[in-house]
Structure 1
Amino acid sequence: MSPSRRALRLCYQGAVLLSVLTIAPLTWVWLASSGHRAVAGTSPGWTAGVPAAPVALVLGAAAFGGTPSPMLARRLDISAELYRAGRVRAILLSGDNGRVGYDEPTVMRDYLLARGIPGHALVLDHAGFDTWDSCVRARTVFGATRLTVVTQVFHLPRAVTLCRTAGLETFGVGDDSSRVWASTYAYAAREFAAAAKGLLDSVVLDSAPVFPGPRETTLEAALQPR
């Protein structure tokens, strides 16, 4: 084999290997979450298809001042529908509060309070800096064992898989309305790298959250009969 053909073959093999490494994490999250996720409906009664769980875990997204981004607002609307339908009894709001003047969980709480969700059902996690941290902290800090995770459909396979890998019995509900937003394509493309990071954090390294504790009892209190 000539040197040029050998170099071409090595380039081809490298490209195939790179493609496999890129696709494998995304394939993992899709297969691991299969049968454990659904798209939020728009017709009355769609929540009947969601298994009942003690708590909904709403994953944070961008907030602007005191207002959730459209993406985050839709996640919150879904969690409110699940609560009103009796599919969950509490809502765990997990988001970023890592810098002064930026507080996703409080914005999330205020949004739901304004829409009639009672404060006693809302629990705030101020250290949900990424999906893996939110899932691990839901179990180790807040004591959740079974939950419904709420996010957008492009993020849903990863969210469900990471929560299940963290030891939570998890079903996921995703918002599909975001497909009309131009930014959705950028977020969906980011899932390739995010799935790889999730695989590394959860399976390879079993990474601890940025803030692993201490244990909180706020979710247990929210779940008490009233």
Structure 2
Amino acid sequence: MKKYAVMTLLATALVGCDNASAPLSFSPEMASFSNEFDFDPLRGPVKDFTQTLLNDKGEVSKRVTGTVSTEGCFDTLELHDLEANTGVALVLDANYYLDAETQQRKVKLQGKCQLAELPAAGVTWDTDDNGFVVAAHGKEMEVKYRYDAEGYPLGKTTVSGEQHLSVQATPSKDVRKKLDYTAISLLNDKPLGHVKQSCDYDRHNNPVTCQLLITDDSVKPAVERKYTIKNSIDYY
């Protein structure tokens, strides 16, 4: 749940590995969806998961729930932002994600299960040769995305008019602990905020519990907020 992403496009997660082998890379779908829907990417044979963000009072601020096919496609994805009082539940139907309640087509897909277009917002996504979403285009904005060699999202740059928002993430040098990261947000090259996250991991090198510290540098003095992320993950 990468809360360092001050802006997201959509405001409105595979054979297991043992301790002796190198950790699996992040799939193009997992990495790309985590970028767009603002959650921590997972690796390995994920069947379903829930990520819950708790504030320092232990109250739920945000929850993301997903089910994943054996091919790595998101069959369902449900997002609830309790702080903003927003939410949506998406279900895969052919080459679209439908609103689970209204059955309205929300997101158009390319291939079997990668993001292609958000028709209502006039947004389209571009992928590279490996299937990762590397850019998004809209009428008044453009976004470029970055990944490391394992497919971990390193941030994105959003340009909208005169506004240039850049999110730069630096994961741990320990390849098994990618979700231990620091990140900084810059608005027109001026610091907007930064975060630090540290986690406990399961045998698939996925986070079980994380501590997240967010610092808002846009105000003086800077304001710090502490969160806990709890993950429930089932595997094939």
TM-score of the pair, normalised by structure 2: 0.26
Q: Which has the larger radius of gyration?
A: 1
Greater helix fraction, Structure 1 or Structure 2: 1
